[in-house]
Amino acid sequence: MAAQRERQAPGRADGTGKSAGLRRIGVAIDSDLLEKFDRLIRRRGYNNRSEAFRDLIRAELVEEAADAPDSPVVGTVTLVYDHNVRLLNEKLVDLQHRHFHHILSTLHVHLDHDHCLEVLVLRGASRTVRQIADVLIATKGVKLGRLTITAAGAIP
């Protein structure tokens, strides 16, 4: 995929070369790749390519920004655990209190007779959020754990 040409949408030119408005670009792309892309975005519910392109670019920019250890990020940690495991609840609560200033919110759902689902929203430097998530996920008795991270700064 390569940008062929770039021009500002009519009426958007501000003379600086940097427009806050929409700009149109032409993109050269293999037919096969484009067909696959069109099928993918249709499955995902996009009505047009432009919106799909914008979301993909935004996701990459946010991911790159969140990669830097000092970047401010917001993370959600999803945990599934068996509450019958001895002292597990206490351990998880203790860990959360130890990091209370980085935990914005916690949601607890009693999934079934044995299992609990917990979703925690964390905020802090990327390095810190990942460390807290790693400790929670690695706690013995936690069956599933996942961290989703997004840059907490301005979303492009």
State the Cα–Cα distance between residues 65 and 124, nearest whole angstrom: 14
Q: For the purposes of burial, counting CB atoms within 10 Å of the CB of 43, is it exposed (0-12), middle (13-18) or buried (19 or more)?
A: exposed
Amino acid in position 40? L
Q: Could you tell me how far CA 16 lies from the centroid of its own chain?
A: 33
- Closest CB 120 distance from Ni ion, rounded Å: 14
Write the DSSP symbol of residue 10.
Answer: T
User: With CB under 5 A as the contact rule, which of the stretches 67-75, 84-92, 103-111, 132-140 interacts with Ni ion?
Assistant: 103-111
Site membership for Ni ion, residue 110 (CB under 5 A) = yes
Site membership for Ni ion, residue 66 (CB under 5 A) = no
Site membership for Ni ion, residue 79 (CB under 5 A) = no
User: With CB under 5 A as the contact rule, which of the stretches 4-12, 50-58, 92-100, 102-110 interacts with Ni ion?
Assistant: 102-110
Nearer to Ni ion (CB atom), residue 116 or residue 122: 116
3-state DSSP call for residue 114? coil
Q: Which residues contact 95 (CB under 8 A, 6 or more apart)?
A: 132, 135, 136, 139
User: With CB under 5 A as the contact rule, which of the stretches 23-31, 32-40, 109-117, 128-136 interacts with Ni ion?
Assistant: 109-117
Q: Decide: 12 and 21 in contact? Cβ < 8 Å.
A: yes
The two structure tokens encoding residue 114: 């044995």
Site for Ni ion in 111-150 (CB under 5 A): 116
- Closest CB 110 distance from Ni ion, rounded Å: 4
- Closest CB 82 distance from Ni ion, rounded Å: 10
Binding site for Ni ion (CB under 5 A): 110, 116
